[in-house]
């Protein structure tokens, strides 16, 4: 009886551990803006946000989420970095009217960066 229980527990544990091998890579990442900047048609205030994206790497749809609500959307793509990013970093671009827009987001310890289309 104890052997049967041991085998059942061992099998359950092995199944749970193997599920991690099939887990999908997360299509989201957190970032912080330290100054106001535009993503899509929305100007975001300084603060903490989450970027979520769907679609093929060369044409993703990006949703910017704060406090569980989508507050901005944009088009973009994923760029492979040569090495894992050592920190999360947001690259801003100055527009023709001297506003800032988010151009790229590198996520800590990941080899992909999110490139946002100009607005």
Distance, CA of 76 to CA of 38 (rounded, Å) = 14
- Strand-strand pairing, 112-116 and 47-54: unpaired
- Over range 26-44, report the average pLDDT: 95
Residue 8 has pLDDT above 60, yes or no: no
Angle among Cα 82, 87, 91 to the nearest 5 degrees reads 80
Average pLDDT over residues 8-37: 66
Reported as a single tens digit per residue, the pLDDT across 53-76 is 999 999 999 999 999 999 999 999
Average pLDDT over residues 37-41: 95
Residue 47 per-residue DSSP state:
E
* pLDDT for the residue numbered 2: 53
């Amino acid at each position: 009886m104890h052997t049967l229980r041991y085998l059942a527990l061992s099998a359950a544990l092995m199944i749970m551990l193997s599920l991690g091998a099939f887990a999908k890579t997360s299509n989201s990442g957190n970032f912080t803006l330290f100054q106001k900047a535009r993503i899509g048609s929305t100007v975001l205030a300084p603060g903490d946000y989450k970027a979520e994206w769907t679609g093929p790497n060369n044409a993703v749809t990006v949703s910017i989420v704060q406090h569980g609500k989508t507050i901005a959307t944009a088009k973009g793509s994923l760029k492979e970095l040569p090495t894992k990013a050592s920190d999360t970093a947001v690259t801003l671009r100055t527009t023709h009217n001297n506003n800032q827009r988010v151009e790229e987001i590198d996520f800590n310890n990941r080899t992909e960066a999110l490139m946002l289309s100009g607005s």
